[in-house]
Structure 1
Amino acid sequence: MANFGSWTTPITSELVVRAAAGLGGTSVHGRTVIWAEQRPEAGGRTQLVRLTDEGPAVDLLPAGANARTAAHEYGGGAWWVAGDTLWFADWADQRLYTITGSGPPVPMTPEPEVPRGDRWADGCVTADGRWALVVREHHPVGGGPADVVNEIVVLDVAGRLAPRVLVSGPDFVSDPRISPDGERLCWLQWSHPDMPWDGTELCVADLRAGDIGPVFGHSTVVAGRPDSGPGGTGAGESVSEPRWADDGSLWFVSDRSDWWNLYRWVPGEDRVEAMVTTDAEIGGPQWVFGQSSYAFLSDGRVTFASSRNGLGYLAIRLADGRIVDVDVPYTSFGSIRADGDRIVFVGASATTEPAVVSVTVDDSGAVASTEILRPPRDLGLDEEWFSTPESISFPSSGGRTAHALFYPPTNPDAVPDPGELPPLLVLIHGGPTSAARPMLQLGTQYWTSRGFAVVDVNYGGSTGYGRAYRNQLRGQWGVVDLDDCEAAARWLGEQGRVDPARLCIRGGSAGGYTTLAVLAFRDTFAAGASHYGVADLEALATETHKFESRYLDGLIGPYPGRRDLYVERSPIHHVEGFDRPLIVLQGLEDEVVPPNQAEMIVDALRAKGVPVAYVAFEGEQHGFRQAANIRRALDSELSFYAQVFGFTLPDAEQIEPVLVHNL
């Protein structure tokens, strides 16, 4: 028998990162499939991999190249394929490059005035291959976030003409897409203070060829609506993922029915019609470019991924409008692409890490064959080691119901001490407009296999439960999220499933803010861990990058008009409320949450005498990508809890103890 937290486990931090790869960004053309792999053991570099019928998968980028854009800071849409040419933005200089065939990368954009000052993403290429239409985020010399300009730019593939601005004016643009006949261009646009999940506009313009590239004609807004009123009222329409079908209709995702569902606009008839309506989310918040939750199959069929009750599903809309489920053993889906009868996606389940999967379907939507193109890691572990999530709902403040995924402690070799209940680790996702991911994550199993219970909370404001649920956080960040994470912990304690005296909370980014805030303002939790979390909301509002520089208008209130709320809800101004141990982990190159925020809260707690640990990481931005740093972050947090709660680590000799001041 062993105390919870002291269980011996093969799921170490070394296993968490060994040969790990974050998969995404698929592309399929006939029998050729390309996908992206973020590799922690290669310093977090994103490699592109191609697989054909002619042999094994091959890496496409040379040593040192890194297909990652810094546009919007969160990136996405950093590469695309046109014919036999691969386009990608390189992380080091943010210039756009092409690789044709097996040739070397060739720069397609000029050196900017400011190093990394022109950031490229989310492009498309004309049918003749002569021109590329790409989103450019331009950072001028000496400029701040307010001076950054986001535009759609025309690039001359032959390199004879300088980049030319095609769409400018809105604060943000994305998804430039050319119709199959080449006569129309669509794109998305939105402006402050809206975020793309608040309100966007889907625009369509007539397009004609010119000596200097594509030229605009008449343009119109065919769907979407900005949010209205100071700080937003929830009356907007969020549109995403516009895509032209072969018949010339324009499909897109919209939340006009409360849920993100599928619609299409028919040119000439100038009407929008619902194509898939369901009480489930198709797609998600547009934090990054290049998301893909649906794709066109042959014969008028469309495949799409949706999320309901915290779990993911794959389905097909047949040409007659009927919806059929695709029978595959996955609960998480991303990067949906299709060609003919073939669907390619990144899929994962509660017991399998992400894989690149190819599924061939027949005319009725039934699965004819399945092929794993890029398998998950061979972890060498039986499934009995993995805690599988239980979707739970529980009461919270104001008569609301909140949701979460609960993972009980699981270890086939451990027998807990009789009468002991496990400590609980409450996970708070980022965003805050994001969601818990229903898939095997060794970073979670690291805890459950040691004897921790884990609950991943989809508090009010999270994606996956409709727009009304998402809007519960309007003006209430630092209130509703705190209420719901407390409610989850207390409910599990009342159910007798966890130890009410050992409730811990951890989160990154926005989840780090919730962690800090609940420790400053509430007394439910015994300890917490903030990963690059926000301590000073006012500093975030005035110092963060352009994409999020007005985000807090909707979450808290317009700044500086409601400065009182920013001060009232900022943990840094209420250090007198901290009396529980805290560990803070921070990347020193973070442009989203600058390191000074972490250092302010740590210094204040040290001075106050509260037990606090601080671990800073050179070379890391917003989120940890390097294998050594991912390991150090996990092990430091475990060492922290072991010291706070007084349990013994069975692999203590392999874990560098973290220094906890004032303990």
Structure 2
Amino acid sequence: MTVTVRYGEWVSPVTAVMATEGMSAGQIAAPAYVGTVGAEVWWTEPRPTEEGRMALVRRRADGSTETVLPTPWNVRSRVIEYGGRPWDAHTGADGVLLVFVNFADQRLYAYDADVPGAGPRPLTPVSTVGGGLRWAEPEIDVDRGEVRCVLEEFTGEGPSDVRRVIVAVPLDGSAQRDRSAVRELCDDGHRFVGGPRFSPDGSRAVWLAWDHPYMPWDAAVLRIAEVDVQGRLHRVRTLTGGPGDPIAQAEWAADGSLLVAAERTGWWNLYRVDPETGQAVALHPAEQEFAGAQRLGLRWFAPLPDGRVAVLRGLGAQRLALLDPVTGVVTEVPGERSEWLPQLAVSGDRVVGVAGGPAQPYEIVEYDLPTGDLRVVRAGQHAPVDRGYLPEPLARVFTGPDGERIHALLYPPRNVDHAGSGAGESDPPPYVVWVHGGPTMRAPVALNLEIAYFTSRGIGVVQVDHGGSTGYGRAYRERLRDQWGVVDVGDCAIVARAIVDEGLTAPGRVAIRGISAGGFTAAASLVATDAYACATLLCPILDLYGLASGQTHDFESHYLESLVGPLATVAQRYRDRSPAAHPERIDVPFLLLQGLDDPICSPEQSERFLSGMSGHPVPRAHLTFAGEGHGFRRQDTMVACLEAELSLYGQVFGFTPPGVPVLALRS
């Protein structure tokens, strides 16, 4: 029997605890850094109930699954603060040798995973200078008795006192107290390096490199070198890439050829590149994305032993397909999973990755090339509720005043037990505009129980891929160039007003919510528009001038030069677009959520923003969380945030959510 209940007061089995079991750092929780070790599949996965650690998991050949390291071991790198692939493993006579990065001290450790009684042993020293020594993308070289990886080394106390190089660390432990025992394989001529790949015969290596003020998706080049008998890289040169043709990924095929994802046409497509000349031949030219915005450890394609290439491709969401580089034919792998993450791994005739869909959580799946079967290796968090309580996304394209296309995912309220009503009238449901982080990211099309927490209670959600989002080509992404705080704010407002005009909701019944860069867009929207009745700001950027003046980490310290403009020439623009500079323009309630250990969006920004609000009679709440960084990883934190957000909407939109503590709003 369907019961008519006020929107926001629908009774839902999707609890805050259930919803946050599927979240990590403000995003849908997903396995990451998938790899194959012989016949086994290994990966990291978030554990919100274990202090938010990243656990390393292995699936043995017999199908059994186990956690490799107990608490408190946390397999996670802090290189460029966002990290990168933190482990590698090799099967030998004594079983599996694992090398991993431990989050707490950022040291590399070796662990004989199949030797009873063995424990992790450190391979690298501790540095007390600045952020110390950090490691990512390890690759074990058993022949040389070492592990190659990316080293991030702080040379001073400031966030930008840092150098990055490709190094080799001895596996015998001789470098655990001796930094000089770590061999540097290349110079530090570039600010950033990542994605090192050594050719099958070991004679060559390639890697990505870029420098300030560029981000990797703007100007990463592909460096190539020969490997001498001592394993050092020499005759180093730039092979391809740079501004206008950034490189997202490079891989050696089994036959020694070089495959590269480049954006030279305005779309990330795949090319075969001559290692001598850099001449590139497109394998399948298309106005689709075969890669995306690169950070360390992401992998959109993987060469197969038979010469084909496993690829991810699409507009917006990317699906798994097989590319024949000889004919250029792409064959899509069928199935319901429409969203594959850039986490591909290959072993023999198996392709392993992380995939989800509107009705499926992210899961580790394995595609069998000979049979065409797709099977689940590690099941995700399937909600123990009827599907009638779960949201169903509607892909929408809204149109701006100048004809610009704005991509969005619309999630109407949905609860099999309830129909809705307004406050005793026929008002439509409230909606919340969700703004993704990045801002060079997009909203994933995968089951999100945080969204279900709201939609199953009668609150609609619309995720906006504003101009600047990835997945729709360079022209769409570069709509945000110099226009952050303008295009994103405008696109979200267009969508918010469109759903009012369509009768999906009503004036005064739309909120906005954003995390990190999305938190900036949400806060800036309160300053620049009257489209919203309230806002939730998670780990937000609030002061662009402060961010550009050294109040963030090195990786993104020059990011604003492309998003806003050069600080030296447009300093006033930074002040004009900063929410912290215009507190008097904010006249609707908001909730601000902040981790106190956030190195990216400093807690000091939130404090200064709230100080500026002093004297302005706007209801607001500020919740802070010790031990949390950029985005939240502990379940108790995420539950508190989700319930506080629901309480905010109840107070603003006039409903009383059952079983939720009342958020104290103070002016």
Give the TM-score band, short-chain normalised.
over 0.9
- CA distance in 1 between partners of 2:663 and 2:154 (Å): 39
Q: Which residue of 1 aligns with 2:10?
A: 7
- Among 452, 458, 465, the alignment partner of 1:458 is 465
- Among 206, 219, 228, the alignment partner of 1:199 is 219
List per-residue Cα deviations over 1:500-533 (Å, max 9, x = no partner).
Answer: 3211000000000001101012111111111011
SS at match of 1:258: coil
- Among 414, 437, 441, the alignment partner of 1:410 is 414
Deviation at 1:293, TM superposition (A): 1.3
List per-residue Cα deviations over 1:47-67 (Å, max 9, x = no partner).
Answer: 111111235101111321101
SS at match of 1:136: strand
- Among 510, 519, 541, the alignment partner of 1:512 is 519
- Among 104, 118, 128, the alignment partner of 2:119 is 104
- CA distance in 2 between partners of 1:392 and 1:55 (Å): 40
Distance 1:196 1:628, change over 3 A: same
Would you say the 8 A contact 1:126–1:182 is kept in 2?
no
Deviation at 1:283, TM superposition (A): 2.3
Alignment-mate amino acid for residue 95 of structure 1: R
- Among 167, 176, 189, the alignment partner of 1:153 is 167
List per-residue Cα deviations over 1:611-642 (Å, max 9, x = no partner).
Answer: 11111111100000000000001000111111
1:299 pairs with 2:306 = yes
Q: Which residue of 2 aligns with 1:233?
A: none
Deviation at 1:554, TM superposition (A): 0.7
Would you say the 8 A contact 1:146–1:546 is kept in 2?
yes
Q: Which residue of 1 aligns with 2:597?
A: 589
- Among 650, 653, 656, the alignment partner of 1:642 is 650
Would you say the 8 A contact 2:50–2:71 is kept in 1?
no
Deviation at 1:270, TM superposition (A): 4.4
1:188 pairs with 2:208 = yes
Give matches, 1:32-111, under 5 Å. Answer: 32-54=40-62, 56-83=64-91, 84-102=96-114, 103-111=118-126
Q: Which residue of 1 aligns with 2:26?
A: none
- CA distance in 1 between partners of 2:69 and 2:516 (Å): 31
Would you say the 8 A contact 2:37–2:90 is kept in 1?
no
Q: Which residue of 2 aligns with 1:353?
A: 361
- CA distance in 1 between partners of 2:97 and 2:296 (Å): 20
Distance 1:13 1:33, change over 3 A: same
Q: Which residue of 1 aligns with 2:128?
A: 113
Q: Which residue of 1 aligns with 2:611?
A: 603
Would you say the 8 A contact 1:27–1:33 is kept in 2?
yes
SS at match of 1:282: coil
Give matches, 1:96-245, under 5 Å. Answer: 96-102=108-114, 103-114=118-129, 116-126=131-141, 128-141=143-156, 143-160=157-174, 162-167=181-186, 168-210=188-230, 214-225=231-242, 227=243, 236-245=244-253
- CA distance in 1 between partners of 2:333 and 2:154 (Å): 45
- CA distance in 1 between partners of 2:646 and 2:441 (Å): 25
- CA distance in 1 between partners of 2:308 and 2:20 (Å): 39
List per-residue Cα deviations over 1:183-227 (Å, max 9, x = no partner).
Answer: 0011110000000111111011011122xxx122212212211x3
Would you say the 8 A contact 1:26–1:344 is kept in 2?
yes
Q: Which residue of 1 aligns with 2:322?
A: 316
- CA distance in 1 between partners of 2:629 and 2:511 (Å): 25
Q: Which residue of 2 aligns with 1:374?
A: 378
Deviates more, 1:65-74 or 1:117-126: 117-126
- CA distance in 2 between partners of 1:27 and 1:521 (Å): 46
Q: Which residue of 2 aligns with 1:562?
A: 570
Alignment-mate amino acid for residue 191 of structure 2: D
Number of aligned residue pairs: 640
Give matches, 1:455-604, under 5 Å. Answer: 455-542=462-549, 543-604=551-612
Stretches of structure 2 lacking an aligned partner (at least 5 in a row): 24-28, 176-180
SS at match of 2:208: strand
Deviates more, 1:370-379 or 1:560-569: 370-379
Would you say the 8 A contact 1:126–1:178 is kept in 2?
no
1:656 pairs with 2:664 = no
- CA distance in 2 between partners of 1:300 and 1:22 (Å): 30
Distance 1:641 1:19, change over 3 A: closer
Stretches of structure 1 lacking an aligned partner (at least 5 in a row): 228-235
- CA distance in 2 between partners of 1:406 and 1:339 (Å): 38
Would you say the 8 A contact 1:150–1:173 is kept in 2?
yes
Q: Give the TM-score of the pair, scaled to structure 1.
A: 0.94
SS at match of 1:311: coil
Deviation at 1:135, TM superposition (A): 0.8
- CA distance in 2 between partners of 1:19 and 1:490 (Å): 31
Alignment-mate amino acid for residue 85 of structure 1: L
- CA distance in 1 between partners of 2:405 and 2:22 (Å): 40
- CA distance in 2 between partners of 1:320 and 1:294 (Å): 17
